[in-house]
């Protein structure tokens, strides 16, 4: 919209005169910067500088700064500024004081060394992760002991509400996913086992796999993604708005008030969800066996009866509360590590989900070794 | 173009705003002249922030018309609103800095989005703005969560002024600043008004600001503007709330000379 700004440069010997003209405002910045850069070398060479501001039609902070910057280029005595209209005097005076301190330039670093350092630090910092985990486990134990001594201090309302959220509301999606997984395993089993004529072993595979491993693992991963991330985001945003600090200053322990009910709700809900999920998976497997494998429900149930024992079921169920504990602790401690920014909230939520899924799988592996060695 | 567009920066006509059953602004009309500094006073919870947020299109209105610089304001996504948005800078009551950017990046954000300029100049301008609002260049590298309450205000002000907009909306700019900083702030606003022909819509409880920088003061009570005019006239007003506001014990302590 504004007409092109100009910068007339006239030199008489060592004396240089600059005459800015037109609209020196932010909207024209690209032109202005080019003009100022073009004039800069001449200004540097000059002995004295005179700036005639009378041609300016409009000036704003950016324009004023560009002119001020030009006038600072000169080494000798300060520039003489004339023709300043009364309106602009204040602004020109204002920019005279800014940018006087040079910021120390950021240190240039060798990218390879920086990368190595980053990796090293990350590895070293993983110690801290272990410490944070153990610390949270410890405070939860202390809080739990407190509740055993004084059962009335349990936040029952909060616990029931969290159970509703992480347990009851999760049922539909868990039913759907585990049902599909059970069906897919059975279908694959029939498809491949049929080549060896080993159709009937599909039931063994589905039963053992679902009850021992897959049921609990799928449910735990679902819960980590669904409820763990919610815990981290909730606690994180409370941390950001200083709500957790407010709670502590009122003499309340955030672990008792916020974290224990959440973790407890997970520990109670996950075995139930695992049970429901395993049943849905078996149901899905049974339906596929019936319609795809041609094995009627009565035969399926009879084979299942032979193939799986209570031990398999127990193995699955024993793992559930431990996985819940890991998910809960990781989610809550990541939530408390959120710093002030929205970005860190997102980062911590991602970390929480990734870390808890990883730990759930590691834990599952450890349990496999353990159960194998005690012969379960 | 009709002449009123040239004379008024903001025109609010018969505005009604409410939440649920509660009506906050009740048939309110207000004109802000081009190039003036208008101070808005009113009781806490009286609807000052709501008025400001409605003018900039963040809160939907029940009826009435709003024009800013001749552009009709609708929802934030309207073409008219967006066009007007290029001409205003806003300081929210809580600062509303982007939490994942440093103070300097916050100030650079509007510049970067609207202009094409070198990164060296971008840094210089950001530092200049920081210093103009009374911060040091080192403060520019801090994140919003590391700033004090008053520093947050100043960074937010610097961001609002980044593009030297034609209108700035300031919601309690000097609350949380010490009196010296608040005085510097007033001087800065006055300078910018003089140089850039800035129109300022300022919600404030700071009697000193009202006295020294505001060309006119508007008093909001019971959802309406009950008095508007230069500070002198407001002191003379006989509306009971306005009298209580300017002649209460606390106010008199600060301005013993004012009759
Ligand atoms: N989003 C909202 N939903 C419901 N009510 C709201 C909302 N925003 C504001 N209010 C109500 O509108 C009224 C006016 O609020 P407003 O923020 O404008 O006050 P204010 O005049 O700015 O006060 P202060 O000086 O304390 O900042 C208050 O009663 C507030 O509760
Ligand atoms: Mg307010």
Q: Which two tokens stand for residue A107?
A: 């240190």
- Report the nearest-CA residue for atom 18 of ligand 1: B47
How crowded is the C-beta side of A156, counted as CA atoms within 13 Å?
Answer: 4
Do A362 and A233 fall within a single domain? yes
Q: Which tokens belong to A6?
A: 């100009």
Kindly state the average pLDDT of the residues B220-230. Answer: 86
Most confident among A259-273, B96-110, B180-194, B235-249 (mean pLDDT): A259-273
Where does residue A213 fall: left (phi above 0), alpha (psi -120 to 50 degrees), or beta otherwise? alpha
Is A245's Cβ below 8 Å from some Cβ in B? no
Please check whether residue B124 lies inside any domain of the structure. Answer: yes
Mean pLDDT of A4-21: 78
Q: Which of A77-81, A191-195, A238-242, A280-284 has the lowest mean pLDDT?
A: A77-81
Residues of B in contact with A107 (CB under 8 A): none
Specify if A116 maps to a domain: no
B47: CA distance to ligand 1 center in Å?
5
Q: Which two tokens stand for residue A96?
A: 């005279």
Q: What pLDDT score does A209 carry?
A: 92
Long-range contacts of A34-39 (CB under 8 A, 24+ apart): A35/A5, A35/A6, A35/A7, A36/A7, A36/A66, A36/A67, A36/A69, A36/A70, A38/A7, A39/A7, A39/A9, A39/A70
Q: What is the rounded (10 degree) CA torsion for A171, A174, A176, A182?
A: -130
Mean pLDDT lowest for which of A98-102, A259-263, B175-179, B197-201?
A: A98-102
Question: Residue A103 falls within a domain, yes or no?
Answer: no
pLDDT attached to residue A1? 46
Is B5 in the A-facing interface, judged by CB distances under 8 Å? no
Selected residue of B89, B195, B213 to mutate for chain A interface (largest A Cβ count, 10 A)? B195
Beta strand B224-229 with B216-221: parallel, antiparallel or unpaired?
antiparallel
**Tokens encoding A108:** 């240039």
Cβ–Cβ gap B115/A341 under 8 Å? no
**pLDDT band for position B258 (cuts 50, 70, 90):** very low
Give yes or no: residues A144 and A84 share one domain. Answer: no
Compute the half-sphere exposure of residue B123: CA atoms within 13 Å on the CB side of its CA.
Answer: 9
Interface contact flag, B99 A95, Cβ < 8 Å: no
Q: Hey, how many other C-beta atoms are within 10 angstroms of the C-beta on A300?
A: 24
Q: Please tell me which of A352-356, B6-10, B224-228 the model is most confident about, judged by mean pLDDT.
A: A352-356
Q: Is the pLDDT at A346 greater than 80, yes or no?
A: yes
- How does residue A10 score in pLDDT terms, banded at 50, 70 and 90? confident
Contact A67, A20 (CB under 8 A): yes
Report, as an integer, the average pLDDT of B25-53: 87
pLDDT of residue B3: 45
Most confident of A361-365, B161-165, B207-211: A361-365
Within 10 angstroms of residue B28's Cβ, the number of other Cβ atoms is: 21
Q: What percent of chain A has pLDDT over 70?
A: 97
Closest CA to A349 of A167, A220, A224: A224
Q: What is the overall mean pLDDT for chain B?
A: 82
Q: Which domain holds residue A308?
A: 139-373
Nearest by CB to residue B191, choosing from A25, A66, A90, is: A90
Q: Would you place residue B43 in the very low, low, confident or very high pLDDT band (cuts 50, 70, 90)?
A: confident
Q: Provide the pLDDT for residue A133.
A: 92
Q: Which of A87, A101, A341 sits opposite B195 (nearest CB)?
A: A87
Q: Label residue B1 by pLDDT band (50, 70, 90).
A: very low
Interchain pair A98, B132: CB under 8 A: yes
Residues A340 and A266 placed together within one structural domain of the fold: yes
CB contact under 8 A, A61 and B132: yes
Name the pLDDT band for A30 (thresholds 50, 70, 90). confident
ipTM higher than the 0.85 cut: no
Tell me the per-residue pLDDT of A228-287, one tens digit each, with 9 for 90 and over. Answer: 999 999 999 999 888 888 888 887 889 998 999 999 999 999 999 999 999 999 999 999
Give whichever of A60-74, A268-282, B121-135 has the largest mean pLDDT.
Answer: A268-282
The reply to whether A66 and A182 lie within a common domain is no
Pocket test for ligand 1, best of B16, B18, B21, B24 (most atoms within 8 A of CB): B24
- The total of structural domains in chain A comes to 2
Name the residue range of residue B50's domain: 35-58+75-251
Nearest to B122, CA basis, from A20, A24, A73, A99: A99
The CA distance from A347 to the nearest CA of chain B, in Å, is 11
Query: How many domains does one find in chain B?
Result: 1
- Which protein residues touch ligand 1 with a CB less than 6 Å away? B 19, 24, 42, 44-50, 93
Q: Are A36 and A72 in contact (CB under 8 A)?
A: no
- Nearest chain B residue to A94, by CA: B132
Ligand nearest to the backbone CA of B47: 1
Both structure tokens of A197: 């004529």
Q: Is A373 on the interface with B (CB under 8 A)?
A: no
Q: Tell which of A96, A126, A161 closes a domain.
A: A96
Tell me, yes or no, whether B26 lies in a domain.
no
> CA dihedral defined by B140, B141, B142, B147, rounded to 10 degrees?
-10
Q: Kindly state whether residue B116 falls inside one of the protein's structural domains.
A: yes
Q: How many CA atoms lie within 13 A of A227 on its CB side?
A: 32
Q: Yes or no: say if A327 and A356 are a contact pair by the CB < 8 Å rule.
A: yes
pLDDT score for A8: 77
pLDDT for position A224: 95
> Beta strand pairing status for B63-68 and B8-19?
antiparallel
Question: Distance from A284 to chain B by nearest Cα, in Å?
Answer: 47
> A340: nearest CA in chain B?
B145
Positive or negative torsion for Cα B145, B149, B155, B156? positive
Radius of gyration of chain A from its Cα atoms, rounded to whole angstroms: 35
**Is B151 among the domain residues?**
yes
- Residue whose CA is at the smallest distance from ligand 1 atom 4: B19
| pLDDT tens readout for residues B146-155 | 888 878 888 8
Closest by alpha carbon to B47, among B20, B18, B85, B87? B18
**Domain termination residue (choose one: A78, A96, A114):** A96
* Mean predicted lDDT score pLDDT of chain A: 88
Q: How far apart are CA B78 and CA A62, in angstroms?
A: 29
* CATH code: domain of residue B40: 3.40.50.300
**Residue with CA nearest ligand 1 atom 8:** B50
**Looking at A76, A96, A116, which one is the last position of a domain?**
A96
The answer to whether residue B20 is domain-embedded is: no
Judgement on whether residues A146 and A89 belong to the same structural domain of the protein: no
The verdict on residue B141 lying in a domain is yes
Instruction: Name the more confident of A262 and A87.
Output: A262
What pLDDT is stored for residue B254 in this prediction?
61
Is A208 exposed, middle or buried (CB count within 10 Å of its CB: 0-12, 13-18, 19+)? middle
Ranges A38-42, A227-231, A272-276, B229-233: which has the least confidence: A38-42
Name the more confident of B170 and B192: B170
CA–CA distance, A28 with B27 (Å, rounded to integer): 41
Query: Kind of pairing, strands A80-82 and A48-52?
Result: parallel
Q: How far is CA A42 from CA A5, A32, A56, A121, A122, in A?
A: 19, 16, 21, 50, 51
Residue A27 forms contact with B (CB below 8 Å): yes
What's the pLDDT band for B2 if we cut at 50, 70, 90? very low
Q: Would you say residue B208 lies in a domain?
A: yes
Do residues A236 and A349 share a domain? yes
Q: What is the 3-state secondary structure (H, E, C) of chain A?
A: CCCCCEEEEEEECCEEEEEEEEEECHHHHHHHHHHHHHHHHHHHHCCEEEEEHHHEEEECHHHHHHHHHHHHCCCCCCCEEECCCHHHHHHHHHHHCCCCCCCCCCCCCCHHHHHHHHHHHHHHHHHHHHHHHHHHHHHHHHHHHHHHHCHHHCCHHHHHHHHHHHCHHHHHHHHHHHHHHHHHHHHHHHHHHHHHCCCCHHHHHHHHHHHHHHHHHHHHHHHHHHHHHHHHHHHHHHHHCCHHHHHHHCCCCHHHHHHHHHHHHHHHHHHHHHHHHHHHHHHHHHHHHHHCCCCCHHHHHHHHHHHCCHHHHHHHHHHHHHHHHHHHHHHHHHHHCCCCCHHHHHHHHHHHHHHHHHHHHHHHHHHHHHHHHCCC
Ligand whose nearest atom lies closest to the CA of B205: 1
Edge-to-edge strand list for the sheet holding B199-203: B88-91, B167-171, B199-203, B37-42, B216-221, B224-229
Q: How far apart are CA A372 and CA A376, in angstroms?
A: 6
Same structural domain, A87 and A193: no
Give tens-digit pLDDT for B184-213: 888 888 887 877 778 899 998 888 888 888
Does residue B258 fall inside a structural domain?
A: no
Mean pLDDT of the B50-72 span: 83
């Amino acid at each position: 919209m504004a007409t092109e700004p100009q910068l007339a440069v006239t030199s008489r010997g060592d004396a240089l005169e600059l005459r800015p003209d037109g609209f020196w405002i932010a909207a024209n910045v690209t032109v202005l910067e080019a003009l100022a850069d073009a004039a800069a070398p001449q200004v540097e060479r000059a002995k004295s500088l005179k700036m005639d501001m009378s041609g300016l039609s409009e000036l704003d902070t950016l324009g004023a700064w560009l002119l001020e910057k030009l006038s600072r280029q000169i080494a000798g005595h300060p520039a003489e500024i004339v023709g300043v209209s009364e309106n602009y005097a204040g602004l020109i005076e204002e920019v005279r004081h800014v940018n006087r301190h040079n910021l120390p330039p950021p240190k240039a670093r060798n990218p390879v060394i920086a990368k190595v350092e980053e990796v090293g630090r990350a590895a070293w910092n993983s110690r801290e992760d272990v410490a944070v985990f153990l610390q949270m486990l410890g405070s939860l134990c202390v809080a739990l002991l407190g509740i055993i001594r004084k059962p009335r201090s349990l936040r029952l309302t909060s616990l029931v509400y969290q159970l509703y959220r992480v347990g009851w509301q999760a049922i539909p999606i868990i039913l759907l996913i585990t049902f599909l997984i059970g069906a897919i395993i059975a279908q694959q089993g029939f498809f491949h086992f049929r080549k060896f004529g080993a159709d009937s072993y599909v039931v063994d595979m589905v039963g053992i796999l679902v009850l021992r491993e897959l049921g609990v693992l799928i449910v735990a991963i679902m819960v980590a993604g669904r409820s763990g991330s919610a815990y981290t985001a909730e606690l994180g945003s409370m941390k950001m708005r200083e709500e957790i600090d407010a709670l502590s200053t009122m003499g309340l322990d955030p672990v008792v008030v916020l974290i224990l009910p959440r973790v407890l709700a997970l520990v109670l809900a996950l075995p139930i969800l695992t049970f429901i999920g395993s049943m849905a998976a078996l149901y899905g497997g049974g339906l596929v066996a019936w319609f795809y494998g041609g094995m009627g429900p009565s035969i399926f149930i009879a084979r299942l009866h032979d193939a799986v024992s209570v031990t398999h079921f127990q193995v699955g169920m024993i793992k559930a509360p431990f996985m819940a504990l890991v998910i809960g602790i990781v989610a809550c401690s990541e939530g408390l590590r959120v710093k002030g920014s929205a970005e860190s909230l997102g980062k911590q939520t991602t970390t929480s989900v990734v870390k808890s899924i990883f730990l759930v799988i590691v834990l599952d592996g450890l349990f496999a070794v353990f159960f194998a060695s005690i012969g379960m | 173009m009709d002449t009123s567009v040239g004379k008024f920066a903001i025109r609010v006509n018969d505005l009604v705003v409410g939440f649920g059953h509660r009506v906050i602004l009740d048939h309110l009309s207000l004109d802000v002249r081009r190039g003036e500094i208008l101070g808005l006073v009113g009781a806490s919870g009286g609807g000052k922030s709501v008025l400001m947020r409605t003018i900039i299109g963040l809160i939907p209105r029940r009826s009435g018309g709003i024009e800013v610089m001749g552009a009709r304001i609708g929802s934030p996504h309207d073409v008219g609103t967006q066009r007007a948005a290029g001409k205003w800078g806003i300081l929210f009551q809580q600062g509303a800095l982007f939490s994942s950017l440093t103070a300097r990046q916050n100030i650079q954000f509007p510049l970067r989005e609207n202009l094409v300029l070198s990164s060296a100049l971008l840094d210089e301008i950001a530092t200049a703005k920081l210093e103009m609002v009374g911060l040091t260049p080192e403060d520019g590298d801090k994140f919003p969560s590391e700033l004090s309450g008053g520093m947050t205000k100043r960074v937010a002000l610097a961001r609002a002024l980044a593009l030297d907009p034609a209108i700035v909306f300031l919601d309690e700019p000097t609350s949380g600043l010490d009196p010296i900083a608040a005085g510097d702030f007033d001087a800065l606003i006055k300078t910018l008004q003089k140089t850039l022909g800035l129109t300022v819509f300022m919600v404030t409880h700071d009697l000193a600001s009202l006295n020294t920088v505001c060309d006119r003061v508007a008093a909001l009570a019971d959802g309406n503007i009950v008095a508007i005019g230069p500070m002198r006239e407001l002191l003379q007003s006989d509306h009971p709330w306005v009298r209580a506001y300017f002649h209460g014990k606390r106010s008199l302590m600060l301005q013993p000379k004012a009759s």
